[in-house]
């Protein structure tokens, strides 16, 4: 495992020095020798240290704990500490020689020789230098010499290996950097080899056998790869060939000065050596056979392992499938239980609904029979009377038509009436027909249309006739109807609110109209408004408080743009649901426009100071302050939530009553002569004053008008300057003069 460093181009000369420790003499000797001999001509100079693979962490008690049993953070801290110590050791070499080209590399592995061989192969190192504490490389008893021995024997030909001991370095080199020195050393070693005595030759052969034994033992080491095993096999064959050549040289060597005993000893050594070589050859053949058997067993084991793994995977897959199926089964069981529970609840609700419907049906039949049999609150007309009054429903008497049916104008009992006839294909509206009879027959109010009679057989309702049509006709100037003056609009708003208050506070239960709109508000010959078409009206038996949001499953009734948004969303009907419709109608009275988007337009106009642009242009004498007050009342009624809308009786009606009185005073003032002195007129109302008061700006005003002005402003109505105070002083002289003028001219 490589921890640092990187690869270099193939043409670069890279010198790597294997370092074991900073205190080791072999490592110091190797670094010093490489710096003096190889550093000048190297492109890279790398110090390499092999750190053993960390599989456990020691404890203070002397034992060790495997890394797998420890937390990841603890093992990482320990590994970082070990790496830091190794890096510190490599850094000490850098400081000792102070060479800028010197690099450091930290490798990890259990076998240093194999780690170095992998590094040579992966990084294409051209030269590797190793240190040795022994003076004789061929001595096999020292453990430290195993690493140089394996590296020398297994290193590729492209890499030059130098083992630095106390004597001259051992070189396996074709490096041009030290070609001369290498040739000299090779020559010296060769010369020494051929000048050895017969005992030395035998010793060399024994050493060769020792090499063979060492390689065979290395081949059986765990983790020894097939690549290195093949290399060891080739090396063993080479050793055997060299030994046979040496034996043949010994056989042909006959020293002249040898004694008979020495020759006998040499012969004995030859026989022993040949026997030993034969044994090693047989051992090598057994090793090859064992290797092939190991390969066969390994392949069989791999196949068995693959089958076992496949079986385990299938088992795991089947376990997962079984678990998922069981989970689905449990979910299905829960769904079945839930479905049964819901079925029981639905059956119970259906029974309750059926009983409730039956009860309501019986009550309606009872009410209908009571109404049609003995109710004296209205007159019951016959089919013949209705047909005679309408000339058999002549088109000449038709004055209107809606979703409910047609409306005819005719005389009945010497009285001008309006007869509303249910369409033949609208028999499903029979319930509305009955509800309208029930509601209108119970109540009498000056601002709710009067029901004169009914003909249940023909589905006809007889109302008092309203000469000036509907409020919608005047707002949009339909059917030749003129626009209403502002004071009539103020009074109509107040009258509609009075009619709604009568319905909402009726006893024993409040009544909600549900379909309040300009088309259902009618005007008589004196422009007195009355609420009609209460077919969708509903009695509220359990009024939900305004501060509670209650969702109910009910049929939504009414007209879009006039329908309460909270009623649309939740299905909960409250008396304040009509208040939203009233607010929209009031805004239409001011602007004479369609209801869609009207609320937002008025809010923007008030916030931007362009309120006057929203008023109906057909009226030229709008009192802006009072019109703005009426618009604000209407907007408060149009809040999205019922809890945010004002109370009709305690908040809306008093404000509308004040505005209606203001409109009536304007009508009375309009009847007075126009040639009164100018200082008799109020600058605000532009009419002759009844109770004149002097304000801080020195002008005289009608007392109610200037009081209302000062409640909202702190500037003069005439000069538009800031008033120093809001105190009012009665002008008795002017009031006396006005009274005298009126007595003389009225």
pLDDT of residue 2: 44
Say if residues 148 and 26 touch (Cβ distance below 8 Å). Answer: no
Inter-CA distances, 280 with 292, 604, 615, 686, Å: 18, 109, 121, 138
Helix (H, G, I), strand (E, B) or coil at 16: strand
pLDDT at residue 447 greater than cutoff 50? yes
pLDDT of residue 401: 82
pLDDT at residue 364 greater than cutoff 60? yes
pLDDT of residue 186: 38
> Which domains are assigned to the chain?
1-177 (3.40.50.620), 377-465 (3.30.200.20), 467-670 (1.10.510.10), 672-745 (3.30.40.10)
Q: Would the annotation count 420 as a binding residue?
A: yes
Q: Residue for token digits 């609150």?
A: 377
Say if residues 13 and 129 touch (Cβ distance below 8 Å). Answer: no
pLDDT of residue 368: 61
- Model confidence band, residue 11 (pLDDT cutoffs 50, 70, 90): low
Instruction: Phi first, then psi: give them for residue 163, nearest 5 degrees.
Output: -110, 115
The string of pLDDT tens digits covering residues 28-73 is 888 888 888 888 888 888 989 988 888 888 887 777 888 888 888 8
The string of pLDDT tens digits covering residues 669-707 is 766 555 678 888 899 888 889 999 999 998 999 999 999
pLDDT of residue 217: 47
CB contact burial 150-182 (16+ within 10 A = b; e otherwise)? bbbbbbeeebbbbbbbeeebbbbbebebbeeeb
pLDDT greater at residue 208 or residue 116: 116
The string of pLDDT tens digits covering residues 541-557 is 444 455 544 444 445 67
Instruction: Phi first, then psi: give them for residue 418, nearest 5 degrees.
Output: -120, 125
pLDDT of residue 145: 53
Percentage above 70 pLDDT, the chain: 78
Q: Establish how many alpha carbons lie within 13 A of residue 489's alpha carbon, considering only the half-sphere containing its beta carbon.
A: 28
pLDDT of residue 677: 83
Hey, which of 36-45, 204-213, 242-251, 315-324 has the most confident mean pLDDT? 315-324
pLDDT at residue 195 greater than cutoff 50? no
The string of pLDDT tens digits covering residues 371-411 is 555 555 678 888 899 989 999 889 988 888 876 788 999 99
pLDDT at residue 278 greater than cutoff 50? yes
Identify the DSSP state of 545: P
Q: Residue for token digits 């061989």?
A: 117
- Alpha-carbon distance 22 to 745, whole Å? 131
pLDDT at residue 222 greater than cutoff 90? no
Tokens of 599: 């609320």
- Alpha-carbon distance 208 to 237, whole Å? 11
- Alpha-carbon distance 130 to 187, whole Å? 22
Active-site residue, from 473, 515, 564, 578: 515
Angle of helix 486-504 relative to helix 576-591, nearest 10 degrees, comes to 170
pLDDT at residue 450 greater than cutoff 50? yes
Q: Is the pTM of this model over 0.95?
A: no
CB contact burial 114-133 (16+ within 10 A = b; e otherwise)? bbbbbbbeebbbbbbbbbbe
Residue 229: is it exposed, middle or buried by C-beta count within 10 angstroms (0-12/13-18/19+)?
middle
Say if residues 487 and 541 touch (Cβ distance below 8 Å). Answer: no
Instruction: Indicate the average pLDDT of the chain.
Output: 79
CA angle centred on 334, ends 333 and 338, rounded to 5°? 120
- β pairing state of 521-523 and 405-412: unpaired
* End-to-end alpha carbon distance in the chain: 120
Percentages helix, strand, coil for the chain, rounded to the nearest 5? Answer: 55, 15, 30
- Model confidence band, residue 666 (pLDDT cutoffs 50, 70, 90): confident
Q: Residue for token digits 């049964």?
A: 340
Helix (H, G, I), strand (E, B) or coil at 87: helix
User: What is the average per-residue pLDDT within 117-139?
Assistant: 75
Contacts of 226 by beta carbon, 8 Å cutoff, 6+ apart: none
pLDDT at residue 461 greater than cutoff 80? yes
Partners of 14 in the β-ladder: 44
Percentage above 90 pLDDT, the chain: 27
- Alpha-carbon distance 152 to 156, whole Å? 9
pLDDT of residue 178: 41
pLDDT at residue 293 greater than cutoff 80? yes
CB contact burial 715-745 (16+ within 10 A = b; e otherwise)? ebbeeeeebeeeeeeebeebbeebeebeeee
- Model confidence band, residue 534 (pLDDT cutoffs 50, 70, 90): confident
Tokens of 138: 């061929």
CA-wise closest residue to 437 among 313, 555, 336, 537? 537
Query: Which range is least confidently modeled, 76-80, 318-322, 604-608?
Result: 76-80
- β pairing state of 44-51 and 102-108: parallel
- Alpha-carbon distance 636 to 580, whole Å? 9
Catalytic site includes residue 205 = no
CA-wise closest residue to 523 among 474, 477, 485, 593? 474
- Model confidence band, residue 517 (pLDDT cutoffs 50, 70, 90): very high
pLDDT at residue 437 greater than cutoff 90? no
- β pairing state of 415-422 and 460-464: antiparallel
- Alpha-carbon distance 563 to 450, whole Å? 25
pLDDT of residue 553: 40
pLDDT of residue 246: 52
Alpha helical stretches, state H, 375-448: 383-389, 430-442
Q: Residue for token digits 């990890």?
A: 108
The string of pLDDT tens digits covering residues 63-108 is 788 888 888 888 888 888 888 888 888 888 877 777 767 888 889 8
- Model confidence band, residue 4 (pLDDT cutoffs 50, 70, 90): very low
């Amino acid at each position: 495992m490589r921890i640092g460093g990187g690869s270099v181009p193939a043409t670069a000369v890279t010198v790597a020095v294997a370092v074991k420790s900073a205190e080791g003499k072999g490592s110091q000797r190797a670094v010093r020798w490489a710096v003096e001999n190889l550093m000048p001509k190297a492109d890279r100079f790398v110090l390499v240290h092999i750190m053993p693979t960390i599989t456990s962490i020691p404890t203070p008690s002397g034992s060790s704990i495997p890394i797998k049993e420890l937390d990841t953070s603890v093992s990482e801290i320990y590994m970082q500490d070990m790496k830091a110590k190794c890096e510190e050791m490599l850094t000490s070499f850098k400081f000792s020689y102070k060479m800028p080209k010197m690099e450091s590399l930290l490798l990890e592995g259990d076998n240093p020789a194999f780690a170095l061989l992998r590094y040579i192969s992966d990084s294409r190192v051209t030269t590797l230098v190793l240190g040795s504490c022994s003076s004789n490389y061929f001595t096999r008893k020292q453990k430290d010499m195993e690493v140089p021995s394996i590296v020398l024997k297994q290193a590729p030909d492209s890499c030059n290996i130098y083992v630095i001991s106390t004597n001259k370095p051992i070189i396996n080199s074709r490096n041009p950097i030290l070609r001369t020195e290498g040739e000299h050393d090779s020559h010296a070693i060769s010369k020494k080899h051929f000048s050895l005595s017969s005992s030395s030759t035998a010793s060399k052969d024994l050493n060769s056998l020792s090499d063979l034994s060492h390689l065979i033992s290395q081949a059986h080491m765990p983790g020894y790869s097939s690549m290195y095993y093949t290399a060891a096999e080739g090396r063993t064959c080479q050793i055997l060939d060299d030994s046979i050549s040496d034996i043949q040289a010994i056989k042909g060597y006959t020293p002249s000065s040898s004694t008979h005993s020495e020759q006998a000893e040499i012969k004995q050594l030859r026989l022993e050596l040949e026997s030993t070589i034969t044994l090693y050859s047989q051992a090598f053949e057994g090793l090859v056979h064992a290797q092939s058997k190991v390969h066969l067993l390994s392949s069989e084991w791999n196949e068995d392992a693959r089958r076992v793994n496949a079986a385990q995977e299938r088992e795991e897959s089947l376990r997962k499938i079984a678990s998922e199926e069981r989970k689905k089964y449990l979910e299905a069981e829960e769904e079945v239980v839930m479905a049964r529970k819901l079925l029981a609840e639905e059956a119970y609700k259906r029974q309750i609904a059926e009983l409730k419907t039956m009860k309501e049906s019986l009550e309606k039949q009872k009410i209908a029979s009571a109404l049609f049999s003995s109710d004296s609150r209205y007159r019951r007309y016959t089919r013949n009377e209705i047909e005679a009054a309408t000339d058999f429903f002549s088109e000449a008497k038709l004055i209107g038509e809606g979703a409910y049916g047609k409306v005819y104008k005719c005389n009945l009992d010497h009285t001008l009436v309006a007869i509303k006839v249910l369409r033949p294909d609208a028999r499903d509206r029979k319930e509305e027909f009955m509800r309208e009879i029930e509601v209108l027959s119970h109540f009498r109010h000056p601002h709710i249309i009067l029901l004169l009679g009914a003909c249940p057989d023909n589905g006809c309702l007889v109302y008092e006739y309203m000469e000036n049509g509907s409020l919608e006709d005047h707002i949009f100037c339909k059917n030749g109807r003129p626009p209403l003056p502002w004071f009539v609009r103020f009074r109509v708003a107040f009258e509609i609110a009075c009619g709604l208050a009568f319905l909402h506070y009726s006893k024993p239960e409040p009544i909600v109209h549900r379909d309040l709109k300009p088309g259902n508000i009618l005007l008589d010959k004196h422009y007195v408004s009355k609420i009609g078409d209460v077919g969708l009206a509903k009695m509220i038996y359990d009024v939900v408080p305004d501060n509670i949001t209650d969702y109910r499953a009910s049929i939504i009734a009414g007209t879009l743009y006039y329908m309460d948004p909270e009623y649309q969303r939740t299905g909960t009907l409250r008396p304040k649901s009509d208040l939203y419709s009233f607010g929209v109608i009031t805004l239409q009275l001011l602007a004479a426009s369609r209801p869609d988007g009207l609320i937002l337009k008025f809010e923007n106009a008030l916030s931007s100071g362009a309120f006057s642009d929203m008023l109906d242009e057909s009226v030229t004498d709008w009192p802006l302050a009072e019109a703005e007050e009426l618009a604000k009342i209407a907007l408060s009624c149009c809040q999205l939530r019922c809890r945010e809308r004002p109370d009709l009786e305690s908040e809306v009606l008093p404000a509308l009553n004040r505005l209606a009185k203001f409109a009536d005073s304007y009508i009375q003032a309009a009847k007075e002569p126009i040639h009164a002195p100018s200082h008799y007129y109020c600058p605000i109302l532009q009419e002759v004053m009844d109770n004149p008061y002097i304000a801080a700006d020195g002008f005289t005003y009608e007392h109610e008008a200037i009081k209302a002005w000062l409640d909202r402003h702190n500037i003069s109505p005439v000069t538009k300057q800031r008033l120093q105070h809001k105190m009012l002083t009665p002008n008795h002289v002017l009031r006396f003069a006005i009274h005298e003028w009126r007595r003389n001219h009225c």
